[in-house]
Structure 1
Amino acid sequence: MHTAWHMDAAEFAAARIALGLSQSAIATALGVDQGTISRWESGKVRIPAAIQLALATLKENLEPMPENRRPRILIADPVAPEGIEMLRTAGDVDVNTGLAADTLIGIIGNYDALVVRSETKVTRPVIEAATRMQVIGRAGVGVDNIDLDAATERGVIVVNAPQGNTIAAAEHTLALLMALARHVPQADASMRSGKWDRKNYLGTEIRGKTLGIVGLGKIGSEVARRAVAMEMRVLAHDPFVSAERVRALGVESVDFEQLIMLSDFITVHPPLTASTQGMIGEAEMARMKDGIRLINVARGGIIDEAALVAAVASGKVAGAAIDVFTAEPPRDNPLIGDPRIIVTPHLGASTAEAQERVAVDVAEQIVEVLAGKPARYAVNAPMLAPETLKVIQPYMAAAELLGSVATQLVTGKLESIEIEYYGEIAEHDITPLRASVIRGLLRPISEENVNMVNANLVALSRGWNIEERKRTSHDTFLNLIHVKVGTTESEVTVGGTVEHGHPNIVIINGLDMDLVPEPGTFLLACDNEDRPGMIGRVGTLLGGWDINIQSMQVGRRGRRGRALMAIAVDESPTPEQLGAIEAIDGIYNVRLVRF
């Protein structure tokens, strides 16, 4: 029995592209609408046998695609039409949303550019199949659905739209603040239930009230501007934004403790990292003013959800407004059960203008890249010259490591950064090394993507002044990177090199070290008095807590002077355990570093 052969989605798309026809053109030729073509190529609808025959006829009668073809652009997720129209000026655009992974892999080799939001996963296999790809555009901010390493390896530029939703998120924050102050959703619900109840919804004016902003990045800064315009007193805490930047916004820079104790409203805008997870919990809420109101339009988990529910129930917190949750959509979340907590379904970026803005922003950059111009918001580094890459690449990981260690060792507001390069690496373009240091400085406290394309802009936006010096040689090492970070409270220096292909920390605060970090492990940096028994006391505590010591280095400034114990451990001590170590007589302070 003869079985008819059926063309699949990838084969249909490949045949169409080989003919040099856009989706619109082939739809006209076959007598169907463009939406039908999109559904066929997404694999959602089976391609009729008659269409397969018609396509074969077209192949016989059309000339092959010329070599000087227009670029082809695939839009794999829904984006605003304004962005699509802009892309049509630069190439032939196909809109195929909801593609299965194997279908995407089957057709992606026919395209020069790809546009996605968060739904489509641009994995290594997809990028490896994208043999013509020049640029991938993320219509939004986060790029965790794109394999950046694979893209960079293949020289594919990845761009995003980091400022597209800034205003939308800032305005939503202020909308929730106003709703909290005047009980808007609660009063609305009361009236819809048939009541006319004015006395239970007595509000408060925001003029003259104190707003605390945790995190003064793009969104936090826009919130600050608007709050100042509404005559609020604004306190801000962000140790990685310069004092000049804070003053320019017309707000007061305070430490975290002052902010939580003095504010009438608090809104959080840092990224979700290990250090910001649960940063406002039961203990912090206990130290706040009675009747405090809290807002989170950033990331779920920055405010401890269970602690917030309890604080609202007790009356300590008068109300809260939450747009983001630890699990989305939230299921059986007690935040939703208390009418004093206003909840919205992650609407921070959900405005027509924001969606249009990110689509147009990404489209403009794709047009620029396809024309051979640099992108404004590239999130991965372009290819380096081979001779530079050979020398510099092994040291990029070391530079990032040094920046990360420095950030985790200092306390206080960052004021100065100095980077010195020694040896052969100083004879080459050190832009990638500078970018790697900046990336490392931000890694423990931010999710921002940094590379040599945007490193200077990132540093400038935070008010960082970075001094660099090149030295032809070092007394001890053939190549060395030395990073010095100064803050309002402390100063730290770290030096590193590469040995046997691995980053090696060889200097901490002027003391010789020999640390080869393993990813996922931790370092205890104990500043202590150099006297007998110090190592044993710390080791005994760690052993009692079942924390395994991987290695240890000790540096000292002369006999019985100040010393540094650098203890690499497999498990992270708790804050309480760190406090117990710091309480040992002769220990001045302890810092935990995650590798």
Structure 2
Amino acid sequence: MVKILANDGIDPVGKALLEQAGYTVDTETIPQDKLVEALQHYDAITVRSATKVRQELIDQCPNLSLIGRGGVGMDNIDVDYAREKGIAVVNTPAASSHSVAELVFAHLLTGVRFLQDANRKMPVEGNTNFNGLKKAYAKGMELKGKTLGVIGFGRIGRATAAMGLRLGMKVVAYDLFPFTGHISLTFQGDVSVDIPVETVSFEEVISSSDFISLHTPFADKPILGAAEFDMMRPGVGIVNCSRGGTIDEQALIDALDSGKVGFAGLDVFDNEPTPLAALLSHPKISLTPHIGAATNEAQERIGEELAGLIIAHFSK
């Protein structure tokens, strides 16, 4: 019987599908330093972003046949090494796209209406400085008619672009792999409109956007740093719901303090789970604790997709 350790949990729908296929699924979280011993009794492990599956762990668990990632990014797994060892590595890149895109716009709408600061100050000053706060937040901005720059035009980048188009934004996008095609927008369930989209240069996205959203995997160095901020329009808004390390955090703080960047929305950080204190306390930053895929709907889709991939693997 196939035994699976879902160390970071799995949606009940996915667990039920696996059990219906005759597999045993354990969802008790094993601490990282106890994983080697525990995994001697399992054929597969599924993780999200918390558990790390590195070379040392892989070497000590020769019985592992599959590593599953419930989500998109796999920088917590030594993917190439695992595959060299004959271990299948799978993830669920499509399941969370809409949820992440919605979070991007939660941060954008928060930033253009100063909600991150208002939500801090209203409980403290709302009954003593109401008119002062009203004046402080009087220069909000609409997203309609503005230019959204999308860096990384995979599934999540395109879902984010589609949401921007629905709000009446202009979209410019950059990807390492150029794209020319269209994005289909569906309204009221059965009305569909195709919008032509093609990628442009990185420099054009940086220099022409009113707002920039990152949707790239982890890189060896930040994608956005001081030089890139210098190229941007004054007052630009930056959102990162992709990976920590893709923005130079100190350069971002400097750009926020100077006014070059109007606001930022951050769901991911360099030093998770202990982000830089200066980011957490900055009045121009909207903050969430890496929850891009943390919706009931996304987790159900992830569980279903992951279960299907596991069943297909062990059915060969």
Tell me the TM-score normalised to structure 2 length: 0.82
2:219·2:245 contact (CA, 8 Å) conserved in 1?
A: no
- Map 1:482-501 onto structure 2 (within 5 A): none
Q: Does 1:228 align with 2:165?
A: yes
CA distance 1:256–1:93, change in 2 (3 Å)? same
* C-alpha distance in structure 2 between counterparts of 1:299 and 1:71, whole Å: 33
- What residue is the counterpart of 1:98 in the other structure? 30
* C-alpha distance in structure 2 between counterparts of 1:371 and 1:82, whole Å: 19
> Secondary structure, in 3 states, of the residue corresponding to 2:171?
strand
* Cα distance, 1:228 vs structure 2: 0.6
Q: Does 1:265 align with 2:211?
A: yes
* C-alpha distance in structure 1 between counterparts of 2:73 and 2:176, whole Å: 23
Which has the larger displacement, 145-154 or 198-207? 145-154
Q: Percent identity?
A: 37
* C-alpha distance in structure 2 between counterparts of 1:353 and 1:364, whole Å: 17
2:15·2:25 contact (CA, 8 Å) conserved in 1?
A: no
> Secondary structure, in 3 states, of the residue corresponding to 2:243?
coil
Q: Does 1:198 align with 2:144?
A: no
2:267·2:288 contact (CA, 8 Å) conserved in 1?
A: yes
CA distance 1:272–1:366, change in 2 (3 Å)? closer
What number of residue pairs does the alignment pair up?
295
- Map 1:271-290 onto structure 2 (within 5 A): 271-274=217-220, 277-290=221-234
- What residue is the counterpart of 1:241 in the other structure? 178
- Map 1:65-214 onto structure 2 (within 5 A): 70-95=1-26, 96-98=28-30, 100-108=34-42, 111=43, 113-117=44-48, 118-119=50-51, 121=53, 123-128=57-62, 130=63, 134-146=65-77, 148=79, 151-152=82-83, 155-195=86-126, 196=130, 197-202=133-138, 203-214=140-151
* C-alpha distance in structure 2 between counterparts of 1:352 and 1:119, whole Å: 21
Provide structure 2 residue ranges, at least 5 long, that are not aligned to the other structure: 185-193
* Cα distance, 1:221 vs structure 2: 0.6
CA distance 1:249–1:104, change in 2 (3 Å)? farther
> Secondary structure, in 3 states, of the residue corresponding to 1:241?
coil
* Cα distance, 1:102 vs structure 2: 4.2
Provide structure 1 residue ranges, at least 5 long, that are not aligned to the other structure: 1-69, 373-595
Match of 2:264 among 320, 343, 360: 320
2:82·2:88 contact (CA, 8 Å) conserved in 1?
A: yes
2:180·2:198 contact (CA, 8 Å) conserved in 1?
A: no
2:40·2:61 contact (CA, 8 Å) conserved in 1?
A: no
* C-alpha distance in structure 1 between counterparts of 2:240 and 2:122, whole Å: 27
- Map 1:6-85 onto structure 2 (within 5 A): 70-85=1-16
> Secondary structure, in 3 states, of the residue corresponding to 1:107?
coil
* C-alpha distance in structure 2 between counterparts of 1:356 and 1:144, whole Å: 22
* C-alpha distance in structure 2 between counterparts of 1:319 and 1:218, whole Å: 25
CA distance 1:121–1:258, change in 2 (3 Å)? closer
- Map 1:302-341 onto structure 2 (within 5 A): 302-341=246-285
> Secondary structure, in 3 states, of the residue corresponding to 2:270?
coil
Match of 1:354 among 292, 298, 304: 298
> Secondary structure, in 3 states, of the residue corresponding to 1:244?
strand
2:240·2:265 contact (CA, 8 Å) conserved in 1?
A: yes
- What residue is the counterpart of 1:499 in the other structure? none
Structure with greater contact order relative to length (CA < 8 Å, sep ≥ 6): 2
